[in-house]
Amino acid sequence: MACNIERHHCDNGVNEYVITTYLDDQGSMIDEADRLLLQETRDLVLQESKSVLSNACFTVIGKRIRVQFHCGDELNECCVHLDGADKPRGHWREHQGDASDTSDEDGSVSSEDTEVAKPPIQWDKLNVTIIPNDQLQRDRKLSTGRFDGKMKGKRVFIRQLMAIDNYELFKREVTILRDLNQDNVIKLYGVCTEPLCIAYDYMEKGTLLDFLRTNKKLSLADGITMSSQIAKGVAYIGSKGYVHRDVAARNVLVGDNNVCKLSDFKMAGKLDKNGIYEMTGDDKIPIKWTAKEVLLEVKCTIKSDVWSFGILLSEIVTRGQAPYPGMTNAEVQKFVVGGYHMPRPENCPRNLYDIMLSCWESDPTDRPSFQKLQRDLAALKL
């Protein structure tokens, strides 16, 4: 369910905020009860923001209403929760960003609105290797907070913490990587505490996303072989009781002989005894890689990663094209919840597309395991 708000300037100088469009998950007009709910949310946001809104887009996900609006040249985002009576309540948080960009680079949005106190990390209790700053050399900046460098003469990738808001996620990522040891998962070498950063495997060819976009000689058969390695890595982390939550080409690193390793565990979480990870206030949702049930319930399982893997297969087939081309995050969310799947990409064999569709089954229990995906990919005749 979603709506759009526009600001109308009245002759008396007062701004009137008008909801112009009401749509349900299938793109149809919503009923009167939902209309009143969004109107109440609009009034709450106007009251809480204490600022002039130029336009806004409200999206309902389960018991949350995600709001994006412009204030001057800045894009703001907040989440409003529904109480037990399905009424909006005023516990919310703004997120400011560039008005020209409505999401993070990965298309993710905050899943909750709570702020969490962040106590100092007690590294001695986390059982990770501490790297003295003078033993970690940054040679070349790759992107914001990311470098290649050396540790005791060994080439490594370095990722530096750039914002204090990521502090707890950083600690969680380190804790997860500490427990993993498999050929298709990135290896943690240690943590430098000043400045706060982690050192891990150096992979000569960079991210799979960049590799797909720049390596014109890569065949589809090669890409499928690489995808099988990724499936093996995700299967391993699932066997260790974790869900990655962001299986995407940008989060796979490529080394010599096209060896692939799953990386970037900042969104990963520990599965409970029922195989579920329930997202928290620090978690984000990479909309275009996210399973239908996660968009609805904010709960993840290993089968949520299977859905994401299907999206990754589309990235491989299209040589790094963004999924759902031409669609915004809000449109993807609305249509995926309504049962929409990406059509078969150009030059994608039918049998490979059938594997993608199996990853996108609405019922998570109907999706294949990663072990089956490895077998199916190995048996593909291209």
- Rounded to whole angstroms, how far apart are CA atoms 9 and 50? 18
Query: Computed over its alpha carbons, how large is the radius of gyration of the chain?
Result: 22
Contact yes or no for 220/176 (Cβ under 8 A) = no
C-alpha–C-alpha distance, residues 7 and 367, integer Å: 44
Token pair, residue 56, equals 């806004």
Cα end-to-end span (Å), the chain? 41
Pick among 3.40.50.10300, 1.20.210.10, 3.30.200.20, 3.40.50.1220: CATH of 123-201: 3.30.200.20
65, 191, 193, 366 from 90: Cα distances, Å: 11, 39, 37, 39
Range of weakest confidence among 28-32, 186-190, 224-228, 255-259: 28-32
Q: Which is the catalytic residue, given 148, 246, 264, 283?
A: 246
179 counts as catalytic = no
Would you tell me the crossing angle of helices 350-359 and 302-317 to the nearest 10 degrees?
Answer: 150
User: Shortest CA distance to 220 belongs to which of 357, 368, 353?
Assistant: 353
DSSP letter for each residue of 14-75: -EEEEEEEEE-TTSSPP-HHHHHHHHHHHHHHHHHH-S--SEEEEEEETTEEEEEEEETTEE
Residue count of the chain, please give it.
Answer: 382
Percent of the chain at pLDDT > 90 equals 47
pLDDT value of residue 140: 86
Q: Is 170 left (phi over 0), alpha (psi -120 to 50) or beta?
A: alpha
Region 253-272: what's the mean pLDDT? 94
**Spatial separation of the C-alpha atoms in residues 139 and 158, rounded to whole Å:** 10
Residue 371 to residue 238: CA distance in whole angstroms? 11
**DSSP string of 184-238, one letter each residue:** TBPPEEEEEETTEEEEEE--TT-BHHHHHHH-TT--HHHHHHHHHHHHHHHHHHH
Q: What is the pLDDT of residues 341-366, one digit of tens each?
A: 999 999 999 999 999 999 999 999 99
Tell me which of 59 and 155 has the higher pLDDT. 155
- Contact yes or no for 93/78 (Cβ under 8 A): yes
Compute CA distances 70 → 96, 103, 119, 233, 347, whole Å: 9, 13, 33, 41, 40
pLDDT of 188-247, one tens digit each?
Answer: 999 987 778 889 999 999 999 999 999 989 999 999 999 999 999 999 999 999 999 999
**What pLDDT, in 10s, does the model give residues 157-178?**
998 876 544 677 788 889 999 9
pLDDT per residue as tens digits for the range 120-129: 566 667 788 8
Mind listing the pLDDT tens digit for each residue in 128-156? 888 888 888 888 887 777 888 999 889 99
pLDDT of 31 above 70: no
Q: What is the pLDDT of residues 281-334, one digit of tens each?
A: 667 889 999 999 998 888 899 999 999 999 999 999 999 999 999 998 889 999
User: Which CATH number applies to 208-378?
Assistant: 1.10.510.10
Domain boundaries, the chain: 2-102, 123-201, 208-378
Rounded Cα distance between 36 and 80, Å, is 15
Specify the pLDDT at position 124. Answer: 65
Q: What is the pLDDT of residue 96?
A: 34
How far apart CA 269 and CA 193 sit, in angstroms, is 23
Say how far residue 50 (Cα) sits from the centre of its chain: 30
pTM exceeds 0.85: no
CA torsion angle for 207, 213, 215, 218 (degrees, to 10)?
Answer: 100
As a 3-state breakdown, the chain gives helix, strand, coil percent values, each rounded to 5, of 35, 25, 40
Above 70 in pLDDT, residue 100?
A: no
Q: Which residue has the higher pLDDT, 308 or 25?
A: 308
The torsion angles phi and psi of 122, rounded to 5 degrees, stand at: -95, 85
State the chain's mean pLDDT as an integer.
Answer: 77
What pLDDT sits at residue 36?
A: 59
Helix H or strand E encompassing 169: helix 167-178
Q: Is the pLDDT of residue 372 over 90?
A: yes
